[in-house]
Structure 1
Amino acid sequence: MSASHPIVLALDFDGVVCDGLREYFQTAWRAYCHIWQPDDLTPIEDLAPKFYRLRPVVETGWEMPILIRALVLGIEERKIFQNWVTIAAQIIIEDALDAASVSAIVDDIRDQWIATDLDSWLGEHRFYPGVIERLREELASSTDCVIISTKEGRFIKQLLQQQGITLTDQQIYGKEVKRPKYQILKELNAEYGEKTSIWFVEDRLKTLEAVKKQQGLENVMLFLADWGYNTIADQQSILDDDRIHLLSLEQFTQDFATWVPQQTK
C-alpha cells in the first residue's frame, strides 16, 4: 500500500477519538451493583485504577462489569491480562449469566444515566488532545470519514454532537450493526472499490490482526493508536510488522505524510 493519504479514513471511537475510562468505570460499577448487589455500593479506593489499567482486555461492553467482578474476587491483574477470555467465561458460567443480558443491563444503565443527567454523563468523557480538530479538518476535506466502533452508535452521536460534529448514520458503524470490523471494511471496499486507499486507526491490536488476516483487505492500511487502550507489549510486538503501523497522537494530528515516514522517501 503506497498511497500518501487515504480516500477513506476509518476510526475506532473509544481509545482513538474519545477517552471514556471514567464513564466506563462508573457504568461498569453500577452494572456490577445491579447484578451482584453488594452490601457496600461504594467501590473500594484502588478498584478504579486497576480497572483503568486492565481496560485493554475489554473488547465489548458486557465484559466491563465482569472485569469488576474479577477484581472484586481478587484475581490478580497479571492473570487477567494473560487469561481474560477464560476468566470472563468462567464468571459468566459460575453466576448463571450470559453476555446478551449483561450487555442489556449495561446499555440500560447508560440510557437511564443519559436520560436523567446528560451533562454528568457527557462530563465523564474527554476527547484526546487535537483529535476533534483533526476530525473536523478531514470532514471538511475530500477524505471520507467513518467511525467503526463496538460502542452504540447513538452514544457516539451524542458525544460528537457535544463537540459540534454531526455525522450521518452512514458514517457511524456502531455495535448495533452486529458485524465485525473487518466485515465493515470489506463493505467499504465493495462500495468504494478494492483499489481505494482506506486507512483504519484502531487501539485494539487483536482487531487489527483480524483485519490483517482477511483476504481482500490488502489495500487497507492499519494503524495502532499508541494513546489508546493497549499495552507497551502490544506496541513493541508490531515494530517490525509490515502491515500494522504504530501511530502516536502527535502523528495523528499532523499531515498524513508523517504517519508512515518511510513513504515520503
Structure 2
Amino acid sequence: MRVLALDFDGVVCNSAREVFTAAVHTYGCLDPSSRVVQATLTHARPFATELDLSSAPAFTDFTQLMPLGNRAEDYGVALRAMDLGLALPDQGAYDDFYRSFDPSWLQRFHAAFYEVRDRLRADHLESWLALHAGYPPFPSFLERAAARCRLAVATARDAASLDVLLVHLGVAALIPQKSRLDKETGVHKTDHLSALAHRLGVPFDQITFVDDKVNHLERVAPLGVRPVLAGWGHNTPREHARATALGFEVAQLDALDAVLLDGV
C-alpha cells in the first residue's frame, strides 16, 4: 500500500500565528532591544486571544519569509532581516543572509524557541491551542485517504506538541505513532523520509510527500519520492511558480483527491 507522507505545519495545520507568537518571544529573549519585537509586543490587540500577536503589522512580513526557511532557527533569521529592513525576495537572497549568521546564535535560537513553545503550551494550553487551525476540507480528505493508503507525518515540530495538536485537529486516530516522525528524526526531510521508508518497509517510489515549502521538496526529490506542494500552506505565488517550474505538482484544497490520491 502506498504512503501519503505529510508535513504538519502548513499542510495539516495552519500554525502561522503560533509560530510568529513563539518566535517573537524567543527573539525578544535574545535581543530585547529589537525594533520588531518592541513594536509587536506593544501593538494593540483588543480582539486577539491572550497569546496571539498576529494582529501586529510585522506578522504579514514574517509570513512572506516563512516559506524560505527550514527549521526553528530560520524564524530568528526572518526577524533579524525584518529588524534590519532587508528585502529577501527569493531563496537565493535568503540563503545568502542565513550564511552570515554565527552557527552558535542559530543553535541558541533553535533551543530557545522550543523552550518558549513548551512554556506557552504548558502555561496557557487553551489559548495556545486556539492559535492553531485546521484547513477545513483536509480532515475529511484524510479520512478518505486512510482507506486507500497509509498516512504519515514528517515534521520539524517536537513530538509533544505534534501529538497534542493531532488530537486538537481531530485526526490523531488516522496517523499511527510509528508513522509520526518529529524533529528528533533529523535535520532535513530526507532524514524523515528515509526513516519512514525503513519503518514501513516501502520503497521511495511508493511515497507521496506533501510539503508547503519548495526547498524541502527540492531536497527530497532525488530520493525518488513523489513531491507535491501544498498550495494552501505557508507559501505564496512565488513558491507556486517555482514548484511548477521544477516540475512539482501543486495541490489545492478544492482538488485534493485528484492530485494526492492519483495512482493510489
What is the TM-score when the length of structure 2 is the normalising length?
0.82
Show CA shifts across 1:199-223 (max 9, x none): 1111111211222223xx2xx2221
Closer, same or farther: CA 188–173 of 1 in aligned 2, 3 Å:
closer
8 Å contact kept, 2:227–2:249 = yes
Q: Of residues 73, 86, 95 in structure 2, which corresponds to 1:75?
A: 86
Q: Tell me, what secondary structure is at the counterpart of 1:246?
A: strand
Closer, same or farther: CA 109–50 of 1 in aligned 2, 3 Å:
same
What is the alpha-carbon distance in structure 2 between the residues aligned to residue 7 and residue 147 of structure 1? Answer: 14
Q: Of residues 86, 93, 99 in structure 2, which corresponds to 1:89?
A: 99
Structure 1 unaligned spans of 5+: 1-5
Q: Which aligned pairs between 1:204-223 and structure 2 lie closer than 5 A? A: 204-214=213-223, 217=224, 220-223=225-228
| Aligned AA (1:16) | V
8 Å contact kept, 1:32–1:66 = no
Partner of 2:203: 194
Deviation, structure 1 residue 25: 0.9
What is the alpha-carbon distance in structure 2 between the residues aligned to residue 70 and residue 163 of structure 1? Answer: 33
Partner of 2:71: 60
Q: Tell me, what secondary structure is at the counterpart of 2:109?
A: helix
Partner of 1:123: 130
Show CA shifts across 1:112-167 (max 9, x none): 1011100111111111121122223333x252110001111221111111133334
What is the alpha-carbon distance in structure 1 between the residues aligned to residue 263 and residue 118 of structure 2? Answer: 45
Aligned length: 245
Partner of 2:8: 13
Deviation, structure 1 residue 245: 1.4
Show CA shifts across 1:172-227 (max 9, x none): 1111112532233234434433286221111111211222223xx2xx22211111
What is the alpha-carbon distance in structure 2 between the residues aligned to residue 165 and residue 150 of structure 1? Answer: 18
What is the alpha-carbon distance in structure 2 between the residues aligned to residue 81 and residue 179 of structure 1? Answer: 18
Closer, same or farther: CA 261–102 of 1 in aligned 2, 3 Å:
closer
Partner of 1:259: 259
Partner of 1:173: 181
8 Å contact kept, 2:70–2:216 = no
Q: Which aligned pairs between 1:17-166 and structure 2 lie closer than 5 A? A: 17-38=12-33, 41-43=38-40, 45-78=56-89, 82-90=92-100, 92-93=101-102, 97-139=104-146, 141-166=147-172
What is the alpha-carbon distance in structure 2 between the residues aligned to residue 102 and residue 261 of structure 1? Answer: 38
Deviation, structure 1 residue 81: 5.2
Deviation, structure 1 residue 263: 7.0
Q: Tell me, what secondary structure is at the counterpart of 1:239?
A: helix
8 Å contact kept, 1:245–1:260 = no
Structure 2 unaligned spans of 5+: 44-55
Partner of 1:183: 191
Partner of 2:52: none
Q: Which structure has the larger Rg over C-alpha atoms?
A: 1
What is the alpha-carbon distance in structure 2 between the residues aligned to residue 195 and residue 111 of structure 1? Answer: 34
Deviation, structure 1 residue 38: 2.1
RMSD over aligned Cα atoms: 2.7
Once the two structures are overlaid, the 10-residue window that deviates more, 201-210 or 34-43, is 34-43
What is the alpha-carbon distance in structure 1 between the residues aligned to residue 14 and residue 243 of structure 2? Answer: 23
8 Å contact kept, 1:54–1:81 = no
What is the alpha-carbon distance in structure 1 between the residues aligned to residue 74 and residue 135 of structure 2? Answer: 24
8 Å contact kept, 2:134–2:169 = no
What is the alpha-carbon distance in structure 2 between the residues aligned to residue 13 and residue 197 of structure 1? Answer: 20
